């Protein structure tokens, strides 16, 4: 007789195809939808994975990785099938926390080790907006939006507390040639932020963040009239991948699967803490990844114990991280809000990280920043008040270039050797270039890209780049 894991391996890729073309509605058999208190301002929890692929969860069709807690979260809320990010870390975190494209801003440099750049102080983050609406605001994990000065850190961008790392977990030798320590920081908005550990044991990152998240939920849940915002930005499964000893080998599917299943465990611990404190019914929980998995590895990342198979999967999607194909920018995403968002809802319309900002600000009853936003309010769609997603298009911006745009099912990509036009509903793997068959559509979408690029401070590739693949 097949084991439960083996049986799922047989069925999983059929499920993946059905997820993409609209055959099934996702997991519904998990926990029953909790009672909600919609009249109260909701608490907000964002759980943000690093380099997790579209196909890395069992609810998205992975044949071996088991993610029961994330599957349960999806069964209690909305599971997105066309949710978009930037192709790399920093612009994605910018989109999530400001609701705007990074191309609108002047970071004045990089934000990794030795980088002098930073999120401009003129930008209002989600934490600042929620803080102004009476929320306590707390961050755990990876920041990656500037660190060289105290003013660049999360505690000067609206977070009351922060415990975490200023950038990615590979910013150390042998992967990055820097003398900066890969350090753990801790601070509060009314005090100094300081380095508390210069010799991080990365195997304890996810479990350590989780323990502190549970403690924070316990501390904040009892405060009458003061909702909280918790942003937990995992370092995993970004290379180099690590997990605690008790999770090693547990998946039976390799190191990467162990790491993803550790994140799933963490999600379960957070949800259990919300339930124990009696606030799960009035808490919005969002789970997403910052971009797709890192498959096209540079030589530097194959040092120090990293292996080529320490990678995730995009499922059937083409491309990966650092690419404006969908494998680099289309990720698993879930939003749970009991009593407002239908349990087990399959959300097939377009959605993006910027929309999370706008939607959460609306849910909190806070005022939007007085500037042009790139996000849409998804709540009328997710609550059933409107039939369609408010997002009609998504612009794929990488390195200041608007390289591709999706409008409905059509996607035009201009970063390759020739214009590439794909119909993603019938060709989700982007295998067939239809540009020659639809030249008028190509020109209409190219002009649309040029107009939108001007709005967001980006450029559009004008000549063949030799990067099509």
Cβ neighbours around 220 below 10 Å, total? 21
For residue 191, what are the contacts with CB-CB under 8 A and spacing of at least 6? none
How far apart (Å, rounded) are the C-alpha atoms in residues 60 and 334? 11
How far apart (Å, rounded) are the C-alpha atoms in residues 124 and 292? 26
Q: Could you confirm whether 89 is annotated as catalytic?
A: yes
What is the per-residue DSSP string for 88-153? SHHHHHHHHHHSS-GGGS---S--STT------TTSPPHHHHHHHTT-EEEEEE---S--SSGGGS
Chain mean pLDDT for the chain:
92
Each residue of 212-234: pLDDT tens digit?
999 999 999 988 889 999 999 99
CA angle 385, 387, 392 (to 5 degrees): 115
Q: Is the peptide bond between 169 and the residue preceding it cis, with omega within 30 degrees of 0?
A: no
Percent of the chain exceeding pLDDT 70 equals 90
Burial 75-90 (b: 16+ CB within 10 A, else e): bbbbbbbbbbbbbbbb
Q: Could you confirm whether 144 is annotated as catalytic?
A: yes
437 pLDDT band (50/70/90 cuts)? very high
Cβ–Cβ < 8 Å for 94, 108: no
- Select from 428, 404, 405 the least CA-distant residue to 415: 404
Per-residue pLDDT at 416: 84
Cβ–Cβ < 8 Å for 74, 97: no
Mean pLDDT of 138-158: 97
Per-residue pLDDT at 429: 97
Classified as helix, coil or strand, 456 is: helix
Mean pLDDT of 343-348: 96
Cβ neighbours around 140 below 10 Å, total? 22
167 pLDDT band (50/70/90 cuts)? very high
Each residue of 8-17: pLDDT tens digit?
554 554 455 4
Q: Is 450 exposed, middle or buried (0-12, 13-18, 19+ CB in 10 A)?
A: middle
How far apart (Å, rounded) are the C-alpha atoms in residues 100 and 394? 12
Backbone angles phi, psi at 211, to 5 degrees: -60, -45
Per-residue pLDDT at 248: 97
Q: In this model, does residue 170 exceed pLDDT 60?
A: yes
Strands 43-49 and 228-233: parallel
39 pLDDT band (50/70/90 cuts)? low
Q: In this model, does residue 59 exceed pLDDT 50?
A: yes
More confidently predicted of 24 and 446: 446
Backbone angles phi, psi at 17, to 5 degrees: -60, -45
pTM of model > 0.85: yes
Mean pLDDT of 63-84: 98
Backbone angles phi, psi at 264, to 5 degrees: -60, -45
Domains of the chain and any CATH numbers:
4-391 (3.40.720.10), 395-456 (3.30.1120.10)
Mean pLDDT of 244-273: 98
Mean pLDDT of 299-311: 91
Cβ–Cβ < 8 Å for 389, 351: yes
Per-residue pLDDT at 18: 52
- Give the N- to C-terminal CA distance of the chain in Å, as an integer: 42
Q: Which of 62, 138, 144, 157 is catalytic?
A: 144
Q: In this model, does residue 36 exceed pLDDT 80?
A: no
Q: Which of 62, 89, 138, 157 is catalytic?
A: 89
Cβ–Cβ < 8 Å for 100, 371: yes
Q: Strands, DSSP E only, in 143-240?
A: 161-164, 184-188, 194-197, 228-233
Mean pLDDT of 150-179: 96
């Amino acid at each position: 007789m097949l084991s439960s894991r083996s049986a799922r391996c047989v069925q999983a890729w059929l499920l993946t195809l059905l997820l993409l073309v609209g055959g099934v509605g996702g997991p519904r058999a998990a926990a029953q939808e909790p009672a909600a208190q919609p009249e109260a301002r909701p608490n907000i929890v964002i759980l943000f994975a690093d380099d997790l692929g579209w196909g890395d969860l069992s609810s998205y069709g992975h044949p071996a990785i088991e993610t029961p807690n994330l599957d349960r979260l999806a069964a209690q809320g909305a599971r997105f099938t066309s949710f978009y990010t930037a192709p790399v870390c920093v612009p994605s975190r910018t989109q999530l926390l400001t609701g705007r494209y990074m191309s609108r801003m002047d970071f004045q440099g990089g934000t990794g080790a030795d980088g002098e750049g930073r999120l401009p102080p003129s930008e209002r983050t989600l934490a600042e907006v929620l803080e102004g609406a009476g929320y306590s605001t707390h961050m755990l994990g990876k920041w990656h939006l500037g660190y060289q000065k105290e003013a660049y850190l999360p505690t000067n961008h609206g977070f009351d507390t922060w415990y975490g790392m200023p950038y990615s977990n590979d910013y150390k030798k042998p992967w990055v040639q820097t003398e900066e320590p890969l350090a753990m920081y801790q601070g509060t908005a009314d005090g100094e932020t300081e380095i508390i550990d210069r010799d991080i044991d990365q195997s304890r990152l996810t479990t350590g963040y989780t323990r502190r998240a549970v403690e924070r939920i316990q501390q904040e849940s009892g405060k009458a009239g003061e909702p909280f915002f918790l942003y937990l930005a995992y370092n995993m499964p970004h290379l180099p991948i690590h997990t605690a000893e008790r999770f090693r080998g547990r998946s039976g599917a390799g190191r990467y699967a162990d790491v993803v299943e550790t994140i799933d465990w963490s999600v379960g611990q957070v949800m259990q803490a919300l339930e124990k404190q009696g606030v799960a019914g009035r808490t919005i929980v969002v789970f997403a990844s910052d971009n797709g998995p890192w498959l096209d590895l540079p030589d530097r990342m194959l040092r120090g114990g990293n292996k080529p198979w320490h990678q995730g999967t995009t499922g059937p999607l083409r491309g990966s991280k650092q690419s404006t194909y969908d494998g680099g920018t289309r990720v698993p995403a879930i939003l749970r809000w009991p009593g407002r968002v239908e349990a087990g809802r399959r959300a097939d319309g377009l959605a993006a990280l910027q929309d999370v900002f706008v939607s959460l600000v609306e849910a909190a009853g806070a005022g939007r920043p007085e500037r042009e936003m790139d996000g849409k309010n998804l709540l009328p769609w997710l609550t059933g008040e409107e039939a369609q997603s408010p997002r009609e298009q998504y612009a794929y911006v990488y390195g200041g270039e608007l390289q591709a745009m999706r409008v409905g099912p059509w996607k035009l990509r201009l970063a390759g050797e020739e214009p590439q036009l794909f119909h993603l509903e019938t060709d989700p793997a982007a295998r067939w270039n239809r540009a020659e068959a639809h030249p008028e559509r190509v020109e209409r979408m190219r002009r649309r890209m040029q107009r939108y690029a001007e709005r967001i401070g980006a450029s559009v590739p004008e000549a063949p780049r030799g990067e099509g693949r």
